[in-house]
Structure 1
């Protein structure tokens, strides 16, 4: 990353003696005795400038300076952040570096600190995975596997006895959940059912991205199902989250694809995709998300499974979003240190996807801001408002999730919140899984 040493404001000369020399061994005690930093209306020192709380405060001050077009103060803070948060540092430094990139992009977009941003490309390229790479990528942590395992357990119980199972899949992970479900269904005592898989093919470029088309993906899934003696029909409906996937529901209706009169089980599988539906109103009953859930309810599904990340990125206030994202996205940076070595390709891909999320939350506004996570409590209320009731997870399903977590680092855990399941990392909520049936 380029160092902000050119045209350094004279006000930060006290920092330059501490931080400009990359070969110095400046320790925390030296930094603690630095004089107060100009620009902060406080007589207190910054304290340990390298700790997480201080990094968060610097980011908050920087965000305020950028949005108030205070170029001098923003430049000072960006320079300090650049020196204390290298892209190859520890997990907290890499997290802060991700937010630094996002703030620089925001400054460039709104015209603050052009001197710092004119010749600087801070974006990280997201990787396009092969199907094998993506499968391995998803298996690295329980981040997605937790939802797959919980959802598949609930689905298998709900469709027991049906000879035809129609799955409408709204998934961020390009059907990576489906092969495990096919494996489980293929062993049914009464014989495997016919599986109809309808995929909502998102037209947005959302990471993780795949290097093959949906048609090629579908052919691979059909061949895999055939190898398990399961008949499968695959179709993709091009769709966009920006209109609540309205084209999916329209095509299901026009093509008469939903046939409950034929004894089909209808499964709506939502895996980390619904938070991309725009949400600009606090009125839960009058929004794109409410209309999406109403459209699902009108299909009278056998079961709806909703899995998503348990955080809140919906605030229109930048500082609120920044704090919420900073206090949630430390988790993937912390976990990556437990299973991927520094410099590995997979780690670069993993963290590039996180940086994409940070940049979208911080640097974008309006329709360009796609990452609008809502906490579990909000989705639970939405589902209830749409006339669904929780069906929960059986003890057998919970055991499967626990067995899966045993394959991963010790920091991962599982908690039950009423009838829902929540994946945790060191006690902090990460991903929730809920299962619903119509009232």
Structure 2
């Protein structure tokens, strides 16, 4: 590949047919596709429009949007690189390529509640976290008559009905559930076609059908400032639920990685506009080193609320690098998984498959085409989250064999490639042996 790249700088890429054929040779190899994407990213970053155009043209011919899983994966990155080139002004010589991918502005589907429920059930990607989290929550809230659940979830409370069912079946007298959700206002898929108030009404009615009383509350807060409004309101309520003996459950399902982390420039811990300057966690003061990260500050603020349990579920990959090529490699070697799995359960051309892959592409485009505050897909691996939680003075809760058995039973409903492994206290969902999603549970030290 190094020889090829040097050669191509001296003359244009050789012509390739526009249709798939054997003459593409090793260019269809996944490793070669990754290398071409890397070379293209470097060309865009160095403003070498000629080389970028040549590589993009080759990629366009070897990665059709309706090809196999690796071709569709590569096509997603191709489109994202074109979008980045357009933002950087490198696109002046890419007009033909841009026209070929005129649908760069991704329009994700707005789900009805029933559509989203079915969509979430397609794979264990979310169900794994639901099942593991519910098991940890049920064990932690044993003996409480009132449970306050703060649901920071990407899936619009799709976990809550399963938790309500579990509470109704586990306890002779079901506890009162106080459910708080965040209206973050930012558009991260999947999106729902109804308001939080309408969603709350449906959840309350569902709970009532299971003889469970529920209160529902929406807090308008943004992950861009570390959910400062949510933290402020929870702090005000802290004495109330502490005195009344309520259990406080913080359920974080694939949303905390949207909170800015250290690599994001422009966070000034001493600025008057910093939302956490008004907060004084009772457990400990925040050092200036911690103040540089809203992610760290948020976790320490949660600790100051003395929650009964915090459940953290997220995707096990590192997409935080400020270096485009590093992010591209990490994303490419992780996001092949959803493209690979989709072939096992959704037919080519199906509407649900279009929805599913549109969500993957949204993530690819955000990781590759955006920078600064617009780049919100800042996923971190499990090891780093574990360290963050320990630094915030939490200790891990081990998932028992009962929780693992429930997860395995759920996985039996899906394709054979899905698996479960236990890493110390935590559970990890795997696809063909590769880590996909982790589930961790925590309580204050």
TM-score w.r.t. the length of structure 2 is 0.89
Residue 381 (structure 2) aligned to one of 364, 375, 379:
375
* Cα distance in 2 between the residues matched to 1:187 and 1:300: 27
Q: 1:72 to 1:14 in 2, by over 3 A?
A: same
What is aligned with 1:401?
Answer: 407
2:87 maps to which of 106, 109, 116: 109
Report the Cα distance in structure 2 between the residues aligned to 1:109 and 1:216, rounded to whole angstroms: 38
**What does residue range 37-186 of structure 1 map to in structure 2 within 5 Å?**
48-117=26-95, 119=99, 120-186=102-168
Deviation per CA, 1:185-225: give whole Å up to 9, x if none. 11234310100001122110110000000000000000000
Partner residue, 2:191? 209
- 1:26 pairs with 2:24: no
Matches within 5 A, 1:266-281: 266-281=248-263
How far the C-alpha of 1:257 sits from its partner, in A, is 8.0
Unaligned runs of 5+ in 1: 1-8, 33-47
Q: Tell me how far apart the structure 1 counterparts of residues 356 and 378 of structure 2 sit (CA, whole Å).
A: 20
Counterpart position of 2:426: 420
Give structure 2 stretches of 5+ with no counterpart. Answer: 1-8, 265-288
Give the Cα–Cα distance (whole angstroms) in 1 for the partners of residues 75 and 292 of structure 2.
38
Quote the Cα distance in structure 1 between the aligned partners of 2:396 and 2:43: 45
**1:10 CA drift (Å):** 11
In 2, Cα distance between equivalents of 1:121 and 1:188: 49
| Contact 2:261–2:293 (8 Å) recurs in 1 | yes
State the Cα deviation string for residues 294-327 of structure 1 (Å, max 9, x = none): 1100110000000000000000000000000000
- Partner of 2:395, secondary structure, is strand
- State the secondary structure of the residue aligned to 2:208: helix
**1:195 aligned residue (177, 182, 188):** 177
Q: Aligned equivalents of 2:384 and 2:227: distance in 1?
A: 20
Tell me the secondary structure at the aligned position of residue 196 of structure 1: strand
CA shift for structure 1 position 166: 0.5
Once the two structures are TM-superposed, the CA of residue 284 in structure 1 deviates from its matched residue by: 6.3
From the superposition, tell whether residues 53 and 134 of structure 1 become closer, same or farther in structure 2 (CA, over 3 Å): same
The residue that corresponds to 2:226 in the other structure is: 244
Partners of 2:35 and 2:322 in 1: how far apart? 19
> Equivalent residue for 2:14?
14
- 1:260 paired with 2:271, answer no
Q: Show CA shifts across 1:147-168 (max 9, x none).
A: 0000000000100111000001
Question: What's the offset of the Cα at 1:13?
Answer: 6.3
Asked if 2 retains the 8 angstrom alpha-carbon contact of 1:268 and 1:304, the reply is yes
* Residues 189, 273 of structure 1: alpha-carbon distance in 2 compared, 3 angstrom cutoff: closer
TM-score, with length taken from structure 1 = 0.90
Q: Which residue is 2:362 aligned to?
A: 356
RMSD of the alignment, in Å?
1.7
Q: Secondary structure at the match of 1:377?
A: helix
- 1:438 and 2:433 equivalent? no
In the comparison of the two structures, how many residue pairs are matched? 409
Q: Provide the rounded CA distance (Å) in 2 between the counterparts of 1:168 and 1:422.
A: 23
CA distance in 1, matches of 2:360, 2:318: 16
Name the CA shift for 1:257/1:145 in 2 (closer, same or farther; >3 Å): farther
